Structure 1
Amino acid sequence: MENNVAECVIFDMDGTLLDSERLCNQALLDTIPEINIPLDELICMFGGRRLAWMFDQIESRFDCVLPENIEQIYRTRVSELFETDLCAFPGVRDVLATLTVPYCIATSAPRTKVMHALKKTQLSEFFKDRIFSSYDIGSWKPDPGIFLHAAHQMNISAQNCLVVEDSEAGIQAAKSANMRVIQFCGALTQPIHDEFFKSYYDFPIPVS
């Protein structure tokens, strides 16, 4: 990335554009009573991860057997929380409206969830078809596949892309893709990366 200037910005969605990581992990607490750690610890543990991996970890760590339909139960609860509490982080719309380089979403979430969340928060107009899901390619963070796929689809070299992420898994994935990454620390997310920002009103990414 010459002169530290990005040719494309790749956004994660949950916990990065939308205050949804908190809601997704609250849904875990609501549907799996065996989980006995605070919400902020749960976010740190599972942020950006594949749902199936999360369920495996929960069964192992909390010594429980989840019902066969746990994914349906969980996603139903997530949808309920999204309907009542989902919102974009303050300042996101202003940033998206003023970015002067191409941008997109690369997320571990399924496309149906992404489309519903963007419509609910009135962000659909900003991304249109520039939405890339791990479920489309079978690669989940911290594997770099989804970011490399997004860069390819946007026709931008990986080293000229800049990733905005909130989770450890996402930051690892971006680094493995040879992309610069900056962490957004909103809601209950704590800084774990040298480059971070806490408000979209102080969006620090240099673009041209």
Structure 2
Amino acid sequence: MSSENQPRDRRKKWPAAELVIFDCDGVLVDSEKIAVKVDVDVLAALGWPLTEEEIVERFVGRSFADMTADIERYLGRALPDGWDTPYRRLYREAFERELTPVDGVVEALDALTLPSCVASSTSHAGLRHTLGLTGLYERFAGRVFSAADVARGKPAPDLFLHAARSLGVEPARCLVVEDSRYGVEAARAAGMRSYGYYGGLTPAAWLEGPDTTVFDDMRKLPGLLGS
């Protein structure tokens, strides 16, 4: 059950929010639907045939390093440095053809009154590219954090704690907007409230849990954050 639907007297008492932490892929930019299709071809070429649904369940929300480690475990061998180089063009070209902001997120950002930042499993170069393609990068310039900045990616809390610490905000005063089970798990581990968006690839049931509000329309987000 989401916290949105819990009786008010059962909700945890939180201090006033001071920061909204956005995931990027699937929350700000509608990249996951595009990337998963490319992932199918890349993994098949490596020798691990997976469906789109299996890729969503295994990898959406996780870092490139974690994905690489899983591939190596499946294949039973280490991948060479730069193994992904031949495939990067496929993602880049697909994003340049098709990438848009998540439906309703521009309106949500325009209505947001709290300070905000990005904390994503994507690399800094990838974040500059996708946020730049969609015209969102300047909204977060100087406040973009990547899993490359920390030792452990989601579902560990490290990235969200790093973002909060860098901006001088206590974890309990942070609100995290995520679309993956690994993301909401990381927010809970960090001691932060989370808002799970299920308007993309992730089913609502994967996001539901303690201190999490699930929603399916980005236009509703400012009102949910205010409540």
Note whether the superposition's TM-score is higher than 0.5: yes
Q: What residue is the counterpart of 1:75 in the other structure? A: 88
Q: What residue is the counterpart of 2:217 in the other structure? A: 199
Aligned length in residues: 207
The answer to whether the Cα contact below 8 Å between 1:19 and 1:89 also exists between their aligned partners in 2 is yes
Kindly indicate whether residue 27 of structure 2 is the aligned counterpart of residue 13 of structure 1.
Answer: no
2:50 maps to which of 12, 37, 41: 37
- For the residue of structure 1 that corresponds to 2:68, the secondary structure is helix
Alpha-carbon separation, structure 1, partners of 2:215 and 2:164: 23
Q: After the TM superposition, which parts of structure 1 deviate over 6 Å for at least 4 consecutive aligned residues?
A: none
Stretches of structure 1 that go unaligned for 5 or more consecutive residues are none
Alpha-carbon separation, structure 2, partners of 1:92 and 1:107: 16
Q: How far does the alpha carbon of each residue in 1:62-121 deviate from its partner, in whole angstroms, 9 at most, with x for none?
A: x47686343212322211111111111111111111111101000111101101111100
2:61 maps to which of 42, 48, 60: 48
Alpha-carbon separation, structure 1, partners of 2:125 and 2:60: 19
1:181 maps to which of 194, 206, 223: 194
Alpha carbons of structure 1 residues 102 and 32: separation in structure 2 relative to 1, 3 Å:
same
Alpha-carbon separation, structure 2, partners of 1:12 and 1:76: 23
The answer to whether the Cα contact below 8 Å between 2:19 and 2:116 also exists between their aligned partners in 1 is yes
Q: What residue is the counterpart of 2:104 in the other structure? A: 91
The answer to whether the Cα contact below 8 Å between 1:91 and 1:201 also exists between their aligned partners in 2 is yes
The answer to whether the Cα contact below 8 Å between 1:141 and 1:169 also exists between their aligned partners in 2 is yes
**What TM-score, normalized by structure 2, do the two folds share?**
0.82
User: Where do 1:71-150 residues align within 5 Å?
Assistant: 71-150=84-163
Larger radius of gyration: 2
Aligned-pair identity (%): 35
Stretches of structure 2 that go unaligned for 5 or more consecutive residues are 1-11
RMSD of aligned Cα (Å): 2.2
Alpha carbons of structure 1 residues 149 and 3: separation in structure 2 relative to 1, 3 Å:
closer
Task: Name the amino acid aligned to 2:118.
Answer: I
Alpha-carbon separation, structure 2, partners of 1:29 and 1:206: 35
Alpha carbons of structure 1 residues 11 and 162: separation in structure 2 relative to 1, 3 Å:
same
Q: How far off its partner does 1:17 sit? A: 1.3
Q: How far off its partner does 1:49 sit? A: 1.2
- For the residue of structure 1 that corresponds to 2:152, the secondary structure is coil
**What TM-score, normalized by structure 1, do the two folds share?**
0.89
